[in-house]
Amino acid sequence: MAFEHPSLPYAGNALEPHISANTLDFHHGKHHATYVTNLNNLTKDTDLADKSLEDVINAVAGDAAKAGIFNNAAQVWNHTFYWNSMKPNGGGKPSGDLAAKIDADLGGYDKFVEAFTAAATTQFGSGWAWLVLDGGKLKVTKTANADTPVAHGQTALLTIDVWEHAYYLDFQNKRPVYIGTFLESLANWDFAAANLAAAS
């Protein structure tokens, strides 16, 4: 069974004016689609072809000879997770159990914003910033290129993509403005809360 290119969880123009339909057309319609095509080509007629993305990632993580499979599988997973980490009219502060967990583990929402912004801003080159559950505690992490919490035994709750193609058409080189916009207007805290609940 071939790996599939999932549809966006909202219309292509639903995140405007923050992220344009043009950006999503390139990012989801071309970049993400290419990772899916590459992964299917690399795993065709192998024992990985019928595994889940998570199982593929964990099966090849750290194997230099299978770096191409890891990179494409992880990017398919990361991008699918990223689309769900945003929603129209998102952003602002989380509530309920997630807010309480952020208070307990990270020192409050403002401390989270500070740590998440720093991780996303200081990720040199391409990569991701994440809110993850690791050993029962919330942490803010960052990964380079295609690396993913899946390969590190962590449960991802929320992510921002800081590869330039994620924001350059809308924000040019202003990565910090993109990060602020994500937190203020796009972050899908319902998705993050559901991920926390599922892991608890």
Task: Give residue-wise pLDDT tens across range 138-194.
Answer: 999 999 999 999 999 999 999 999 999 999 999 999 999 999 999 999 999 999 999
Percent of the chain with pLDDT over 70: 100
Assigned domain for 165 exists? yes
pLDDT value for 1: 62
| Separation between Cα atoms, residue 57 and residue 177, nearest integer Å | 32
Of 125, 126, 123, 124, which is closest to residue 140 (Cα–Cα)?
A: 123
* Whether residue 2 has pLDDT greater than 90: no
Let me know if residue 49 belongs to a domain.
Answer: yes
Q: How far is CA 124 from CA 45, 83, 129, 137, in A?
A: 36, 22, 11, 26
Task: Evaluate whether residue 26 is within a structural domain.
Answer: yes
Domain count, the chain: 2
| Encoded tokens for 73 | 């599988």
Which CA distances in Å does 190 have to 37, 97, 126?
30, 11, 27
Q: Is 9 part of any domain?
A: no
Is 63 within a domain?
A: yes
Tokens matching residue 132: 């993850």
Domain holding 78, by residue range, is 21-84
Q: What is the pLDDT of residues 97-126, one digit of tens each?
A: 999 999 999 999 999 999 999 999 999 999
Residue 90 counted as domain residue: no
